[in-house]
Amino acid sequence: MRILVDAGNTATKWQLRHGDAAIDGGQGDLQALRAWLSVLDSTHHYEVAVSCVRDDVYASELRDAFDSLNAGQIQFASSSAMFAGVRNAYEEPHRLGVDRWLALLATKARGEDSAVIIDVGTACTIDVLENGQHQGGYIFPGVALARDALLANTDKIWFSEAPEPSTSLGTDTAGCVLSGAWLTLLAACQHVIARYPYATVYLTGGSAAELVALGLAGQRVDGLVFDGLDFWLNGG
């Protein structure tokens, strides 16, 4: 059995897989991960693979969390120049965020050679794969980050309640700020998709559902990083 860990900037998620199926999992802080690990059957042997975009201190704490489990060497995924026929666009391949690299590998695992991958969370990342070649991507603020930047850097923009996601014209300050953020996000995604009309579009991340509701077309996929991590662990 395999334990996959996705340590993102704002949340850590984990999954237990047997064969092709995810049979358990969760998310939270390191304490929650340790609690989950403590109830696993310690007589089993587990392969462990980690995607971590946080610092070395957090990575070390992740390693320590597995001390009580019968696990083999914990493998931390890293971005490379090429894997399973997917070529990295970065001149320094290791500098591509490992979560973005694994998402690209996940599309390869699904049989895709051309894809637009949109991951909408704290930040929004867009990566383009064309005939197995990563073309590059974009990174810009997610909706909450854009809102917080306006609140932090202006004196007269403030609000305590966030309206529902919308791209309609706002009729109060909160509505204007949030509609502006959603419109920026939606328009950017639609622009990139229009440039690659033959590519399959994958949407993932915490705000993917809202973008779909606002009219963005694509396949919504949860756990794309997990799929890429499992593909990487199995050697492609």
> How high is the pLDDT of residue 158?
55
- Segment 59-90, tens digit of pLDDT: 999 988 888 776 677 899 999 999 999 999 99
> How high is the pLDDT of residue 170?
86
Select from 61, 76, 91 the last residue of a domain: 76
Amino acid at 50: V
The answer to whether residue 116 is domain-embedded is yes
Which one, of 91, 160, 157, 101, lies nearest residue 129 by Cα? 101
Q: Are residues 19 and 124 in the same domain?
A: no
Within 10 A of 164 (CB to CB), how many other CB atoms are there?
Answer: 9
Do residues 29 and 41 touch, judged by C-beta distance below 8 A? no
**CATH assignment of the domain containing 65:** 3.30.420.40
> How high is the pLDDT of residue 219?
94
Do residues 127 and 140 touch, judged by C-beta distance below 8 A? no
- Segment 96-146, tens digit of pLDDT: 999 999 999 999 999 999 999 999 988 899 999 999 999 999 999 888 887
Predicted TM-score (pTM) of the model is 0.90
Cβ burial of 186 (10 Å; 0-12, 13-18, 19+) is middle
Q: Are residues 72 and 107 in the same domain?
A: no
Q: What is the DSSP letter of 54?
A: S
The answer to whether residue 9 is domain-embedded is yes
Which one, of 205, 203, 184, lies nearest residue 123 by Cα? 205
Amino acid at 120: V
Q: Are residues 119 and 199 in the same domain?
A: yes
Q: Are residues 111 and 70 in the same domain?
A: no
The answer to whether residue 236 is domain-embedded is no
* Whole-number percent of the chain with pLDDT over 90: 66
Number of domains in the chain: 2
Let me know how long the chain is. 236
Which one, of 148, 94, 127, lies nearest residue 205 by Cα? 127
Residues acting as catalytic residues: 99
Question: 33 lies in which domain range?
Answer: 2-76
Residue 3: enclosing H or E segment and its boundaries? strand 2-7
Within 10 A of 200 (CB to CB), how many other CB atoms are there?
Answer: 17
The answer to whether residue 152 is domain-embedded is no
The answer to whether residue 218 is domain-embedded is yes
Select from 42, 76, 110 the last residue of a domain: 76
